């Protein structure tokens, strides 16, 4: 949830770069948490680590530093917080320091045995200023550092101290630390929380994800579960928590530029990312076909033989990613004729799911760091099932711990509300479904190619929605901005789209919204319908051929008769919809299974327009963080 950045530069040249790197990195990581921010700096000759931290957005910290400049440094660590232990405040902000102020740490995660450790330290006379688990770790690390110094005849060894502390902590953590007695290094450790190294020339970086340093280097190194790392300007050493050196940690090149994570003239990241929906679908399809146009998923690393044996799929995911999985269920069951279950990742392992070696578990995650999804996939693997990740973030924990990965190529998604990742996830899941149909012979080759042609045409159709529907959507938002609540209804693939539309409006416009399967209307939700209540219907395409079309129209009639305001997402020129709806967001003609890729787009825009009309920050909604790295 929190954003972490670290920098180690040249020991002979204390300068402003460590601070610059931290503030740059925090700016890019702010989507991970924005309750408070802080930095700690070390340089030769310092008696204590220099710490500055402020509650609120990063801007507060930057303004404060401009008013009271910080000294030059050789190393630095920086943090942007999403509060778990202790309210957002100056005192609870990270970094936290050791009792003597010589060591400072930043932390992402939750230390579950912090209360006991705090009591133990208090019994030894330690005092705490904050309510955080992180301060407990800071005091503990300081104590261990002193012990190591005593054992080493006065020589500090922050790396060894960090490993010893990591062995004592329970819960999830990524921790970075600096010690003013070793101003040439930054050390870190991770357990169930992300950490990645950026490899520079004469400088090295640490970050919770590559966004922390991509402006400086695109060469990255993975830090695995239960590993510790020490970076100086010229060296990177990775060990396990017992000190055994990891010989060749995996390195990779980041496949996007820093500019991809910038607003580039757009009003908000969300606006930019919605407008990248077409490109997200297109890029996810790129390079996935052989010369004959058949699907080729080389990167997937699961044997064709194993794929043939699969007799059930379980999708585990949370939030938007789970709705993408729910859309894919309709398509994959239809194409491959094997059952597909969707399970919220946080519920999965607690219901004792039936898993066999022939079950393929598909973990869908934009960030690749969602703890609930990570735990679900670990459970599936322990039970002997294969796990395939559909992920948007190279080298993240979820793809690393899966048997196979199908990357979406949506590019970095910065806004907290997931948009382009949703369409990319559906596209990747469709590729997987069609690939399964191909290897299992569940569909004729021509049929598969026909579906693929429709899929390849979807970026153009999404673009049409973006180009033609924006003003209708904006005026619909203006007309309904004061509504207290909304209902979103759909059937078949329109049902998860309704859920996703409802989620978008909840999370960024803070409007009470519920999504339902339209068939459920008469079983309860219709009681909520009152004069003027806005009800959004996803009307299925293929009128006349799709039996559900008429049923959804009946639903519209029923709520219309009770005075509701009808907003419909429907196929261009649909006469039934024209008759009943107050507002229509039109979609171009497309097959039913492709419709979610276009139908979600006006709902994303609608939520964004609504949030902007209410004056909210659409990129950083209250109480939320982009990646949920705690359970």
**Residues known to be catalytic:** 2, 626
Q: Which of 97, 397, 418, 511 binds ligand M6R (CB under 6 A)?
A: 418
438 touching ligand M6R, by CB under 6 A: no
Q: Which of 212, 254, 297, 628 binds ligand M6R (CB under 6 A)?
A: 628
Q: Which region, judged by CB under 6 A, interacts with ligand M6R, from 70-78, 312-320, 400-408, 457-465? A: 312-320
Cα atoms in the 13 Å half-sphere on the side-chain side of 514: 11
423 touching ligand M6R, by CB under 6 A: no
How near is the Cβ of 452 to ligand M6R at its closest, in Å?
A: 25
Q: Which of 175, 315, 417, 552 binds ligand M6R (CB under 6 A)?
A: 417
How near is the Cβ of 626 to ligand M6R at its closest, in Å?
A: 7
How near is the Cβ of 346 to ligand M6R at its closest, in Å?
A: 10
When the beta carbons of 370 and 463 are compared against ligand M6R, the nearer one is 370
**Residue ranges in 368-387 that form contacts with ligand M6R under rule CB under 6 A:** 370, 373
When the beta carbons of 232 and 373 are compared against ligand M6R, the nearer one is 373
The span from the CA of 178 to the CA of 77, in Å, is: 7
What is the sign of the dihedral through the CA atoms of 163, 165, 170 and 173? negative
The span from the CA of 2 to the CA of 38, in Å, is: 12
# binding residues, ligand M6R (CB under 6 A): 16
Contact 105, 174 (CB under 8 A): no
Q: Counting runs of H as helices and runs of E as strands, what totals does the chain give?
A: 19, 24
How near is the Cβ of 293 to ligand M6R at its closest, in Å?
A: 30
367 touching ligand M6R, by CB under 6 A: yes
The secondary element (H helix, E strand) that includes residue 109 is: strand 103-111
318 touching ligand M6R, by CB under 6 A: yes
627 touching ligand M6R, by CB under 6 A: yes
Q: Which of 178, 320, 463, 565 binds ligand M6R (CB under 6 A)?
A: 320
When the beta carbons of 326 and 365 are compared against ligand M6R, the nearer one is 365
Burial of 233 (0-12, 13-18, 19+ CB in 10 A): buried
The span from the CA of 299 to the CA of 344, in Å, is: 26
Find, among 315, 538, 275, the residue nearest to 419 by Cα. 275
When the beta carbons of 183 and 411 are compared against ligand M6R, the nearer one is 411
When the beta carbons of 181 and 400 are compared against ligand M6R, the nearer one is 400
530: left (phi over 0), alpha (psi -120 to 50) or beta: beta
25 touching ligand M6R, by CB under 6 A: no
Contact 317, 325 (CB under 8 A): yes
- Bond before 95 cis per omega within 30 degrees: yes
Q: Which of 507, 533, 599, 619 binds ligand M6R (CB under 6 A)?
A: 507
The span from the CA of 32 to the CA of 263, in Å, is: 17
Question: Which phi and psi angles does 329 have, rounded to 5°?
Answer: -55, -45
Pairing mode of beta strands 512-517, 485-490:
parallel
Q: Which of 80, 282, 365, 402 binds ligand M6R (CB under 6 A)?
A: 365
513 touching ligand M6R, by CB under 6 A: no
The span from the CA of 152 to the CA of 155, in Å, is: 5
Q: How many CB atoms lie within 10 A of CB 358?
A: 15
Q: Which region, judged by CB under 6 A, interacts with ligand M6R, from 2-10, 364-372, 481-489, 590-598? A: 364-372
| Binding track over 272-311 against ligand M6R, x by CB under 6 A | ----------------------------------------
Question: Which phi and psi angles does 60 have, rounded to 5°?
Answer: -60, -40
The span from the CA of 470 to the CA of 477, in Å, is: 11
The span from the CA of 186 to the CA of 80, in Å, is: 18
The span from the CA of 314 to the CA of 344, in Å, is: 10
How near is the Cβ of 31 to ligand M6R at its closest, in Å?
A: 10
When the beta carbons of 232 and 366 are compared against ligand M6R, the nearer one is 366
Q: Which of 416, 505, 559, 593 binds ligand M6R (CB under 6 A)?
A: 416
**Residue ranges in 173-232 that form contacts with ligand M6R under rule CB under 6 A:** none
607 touching ligand M6R, by CB under 6 A: no
Query: What's the token pair of residue 66?
Result: 């401009």
Q: Which region, judged by CB under 6 A, interacts with ligand M6R, from 365-373, 520-528, 555-563, 599-607? A: 365-373
Q: Which residues pair with 568 in a beta bridge?
A: 537, 584
- Which residues of the shown chain bind ligand M6R in the complex (CB under 6 A)? 318-321, 365-367, 370, 373, 416-418, 503, 507, 627-628
């Amino acid at each position: 949830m929190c954003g972490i950045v670290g920098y180690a530069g040249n020991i002979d040249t204390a300068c402003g770069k460590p601070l610059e790197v931290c503030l740059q990195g925090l700016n890019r990581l702010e989507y991970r948490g924005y309750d408070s921010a802080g930095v700690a700096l070390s340089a030769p000759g310092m008696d204590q680590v220099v710490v500055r931290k402020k509650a609120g957005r990063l801007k507060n910290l930057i303004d404060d530093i401009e008013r009271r400049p910080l000294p030059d440094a050789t190393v630095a660590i920086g943090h942007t917080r999403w509060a778990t232990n202790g309210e957002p405040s100056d005192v609870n902000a990270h970094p936290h320091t050791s009792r003597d102020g010589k060591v400072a740490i930043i932390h992402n995660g939750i230390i579950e045995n912090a209360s006991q450790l705090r009591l133990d330290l208090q019994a030894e006379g330690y005092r705490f200023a904050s309510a955080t688990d992180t301060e407990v770790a800071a005091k503990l690390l300081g104590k261990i550092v002193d012990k190591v110094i005593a054992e080493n005849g006065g020589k500090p060894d922050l790396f060894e101290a960090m490993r010893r502390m990591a062995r004592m902590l329970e819960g999830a953590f990524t921790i970075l630390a600096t010690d003013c007695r070793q101003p040439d290094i930054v050390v870190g450790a991770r357990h169930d929380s992300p950490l990645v190294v950026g490899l520079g020339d004469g400088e090295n970086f640490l970050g919770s994800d590559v966004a922390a340093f991509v402006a400086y280097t695109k060469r990255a190194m993975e830090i695995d579960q239960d590993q510790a790392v020490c970076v100086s300007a010229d060296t990177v050493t990775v060990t396990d928590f017992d000190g055994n050196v990891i010989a060749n940690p995996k390195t990779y090149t980041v496949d996007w530029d820093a500019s991809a994570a910038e607003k580039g003239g757009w009003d908000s990241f969300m606006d930019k990312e919605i407008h990248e929906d077409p490109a997200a679908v297109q890029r996810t399809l790129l390079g996935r076909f052989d010369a004959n146009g058949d699907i080729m998923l080389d990167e997937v690393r699961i044997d064709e033989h194993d794929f043939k044996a699969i007799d059930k799929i379980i999708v585990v995911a949370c939030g938007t990613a789970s709705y993408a999985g729910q859309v894919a269920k309709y398509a994959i069951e239809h194409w491959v004729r094997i059952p597909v279950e969707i399970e919220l990742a946080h519920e999965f392992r607690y219901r004792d799911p039936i898993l066999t070696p022939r079950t393929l578990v598909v973990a869908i995650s934009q960030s690749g760091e969602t703890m609930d999804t990570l735990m679900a996939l670990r459970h599936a693997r322990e039970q002997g099932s294969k796990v395939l990740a559909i992920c948007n973030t190279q080298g993240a924990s979820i793809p690393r711990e899966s048997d196979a990965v199908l990357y979406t190529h949506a590019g970095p998604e910065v806004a907290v509300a997931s948009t382009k990742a949703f369409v990319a996830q559906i596209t990747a899941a469709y590729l997987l479904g069609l690939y399964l149909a191909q290897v299992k012979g569940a569909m004729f080759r021509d049929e598969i190619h026909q579906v693929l042609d429709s899929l390849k045409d979807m970026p153009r159709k999404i673009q049409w929605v973006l180009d033609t529907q924006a003003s209708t959507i904006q005026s619909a938002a203006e007309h309904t901005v004061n509504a207290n609540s909304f209902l979103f209804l759909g059937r078949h693939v329109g049902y998860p789209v309704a859920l996703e539309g409802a989620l978008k409006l909840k999370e960024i416009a803070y409007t009470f919204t519920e999504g339902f399967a339209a068939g459920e209307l008469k079983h309860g939700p219709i009681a909520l319908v009152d004069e003027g209540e806005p009800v959004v219907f996803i009307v299925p395409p293929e009128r006349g051929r799709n039996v559900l079309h008429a049923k959804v129209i009946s639903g519209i009639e029923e709520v219309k008769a009770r005075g509701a305001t009808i907003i419909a997402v429907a196929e261009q020129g649909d006469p039934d919809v024209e008759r009943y709806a107050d507002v229509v967001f039109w979609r171009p003609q497309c097959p039913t299974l492709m419709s979610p890729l276009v139908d979600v787009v006006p709902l994303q825009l609608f939520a964004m327009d609504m949030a902007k009309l209410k004056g909210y920050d659409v990129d950083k909604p209250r109480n939320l963080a982009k990646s949920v790295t705690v359970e």
